[in-house]
Amino acid sequence: MRYDIIIIGGGLAGVTAGLQLHKAGKRCLIISEGLSLHKTPKDEYIAAGGAFLPGDSVISGEWDGNALKAVRTRNLEGTRLEADHFILASGKFFSRGLVATMDAVIEPVFGCDVEFDSCRDKWYNDDFYAVQPFERFGVKPTEDGRVFIGGVPAANLWAAGEILAGETDIEQSALKIVSILVK
């Protein structure tokens, strides 16, 4: 199956990007493992004819150098889902867009470079109600929003939303990528 853009994650960033790209005439697929609390944009995207795979997750990617060519999902394992561009909008820890081990924080699907403090004692604040440092961990993008893998920018894999390092405006990070991909 071939699309112009495959979006991994069906939260606010993913459905915002999907809806705007679909309106711009791009053939998009959103792959969403969990439930989205952002029902309105998702419903609008689906009503407009956007392709949506709920309850599925990307398990691997096929690369040609630093360009992602296709992904495979848990439910459609034998099916190659190809695209010219991909957007990683899988969230942080609760949606498993990032996973913490005893010594590191990783992005589990593509191995994107993640910005985090190497000292685990600095991952949290003892005051439960205070801002927690781990909330700022995430994928550090290039200026145009592409991810790094092993210090090298991916050619066609962007990151949007909560998976990004630092405080981010979720919708604006998605719209920034949309503006690049509709040129």
Distances (CA, A) of 97 to 37, 39, 63, 108: 16, 20, 20, 7
Among 168, 161, 167, residue whose Cα is nearest residue 18: 161
pLDDT of residue 44: 87
pLDDT in tens, the chain (183 residues): 999 999 999 988 999 999 999 999 999 999 998 766 556 678 888 888 889 999 999 999 999 999 999 999 999 988 999 999 999 999 988 788 899 999 999 999 999 999 999 998 899 989 999 888 888 899 999 999 999 999 999 999 999 999 999 877 889 999 999 999 998
* CA atoms within 13 Å, Cβ hemisphere of 13: 27
pLDDT of residue 72: 97
The dihedrals phi and psi of 166, each to the nearest 5 degrees, come to 80, -175
pLDDT of residue 89: 95
The answer to whether 87 and 15 have CB atoms below 8 angstroms apart is no
pLDDT of residue 78: 85
pLDDT of residue 37: 58
pLDDT of residue 112: 97
Q: Which CATH number fits domain 2-181: 3.40.228.10, 3.40.50.970, 3.50.50.60, 3.10.110.10?
A: 3.50.50.60
pLDDT of residue 41: 77
